Amino acid sequence: MRRVLRKDGDQVTVEIETPWLTEAEAAAYCACSRSTFRRRFAGTPRGGQPRSWLYHCDILDQCIATQAAEAAAIPQNYQRNFKDLTITDPVTGKVYRAKGEPAPRGNKG
């Protein structure tokens, strides 16, 4: 929620609470920079005009929860296994293997 101060004429100031955030406010709300916000939340529903998009707090909360759930699904001790990795040069036919994997006997590669 953000509070917006509006002047009604020259005398009265009206304070309005709104759940709609500008792009800069939404990026701060999501604790990231504007460029990261644009990349991470590219498909997020939004309102307003292209030069002044507005993002709803509830929708941002749902997106943050979804991203957190996806990140939690990746094991923290995940390591890539390159033991079976071999690359063959298409021109020379030379075979490159992952470090630590012994070359097969009788074949120079």
Which range of residues forms the domain containing residue 16?
2-73
* Total domains in the fold of the chain: 1
What local confidence, expressed as pLDDT, does residue 39 receive? 92
Residue 82 domain-assigned?
no
Decide which of 66 and 100 is more confident.
Answer: 66
- The candidate with the shortest Cα–Cα distance to 55, out of 26, 33, 35, is 26
Residue 104 domain-assigned?
no
pTM equals 0.57
> In Å, how far are 1, 18, 31 from 60, measured between CA atoms?
12, 14, 12
Residue 101 domain-assigned?
no
The Cα–Cα gap between 60 and 27 comes to 10
- The candidate with the shortest Cα–Cα distance to 38, out of 17, 22, 57, is 22
For 10, the token pair is 């020259």
Q: Average per-residue pLDDT in the chain?
A: 79
Decide which of 23 and 11 is more confident.
Answer: 23
DSSP state of 74: S
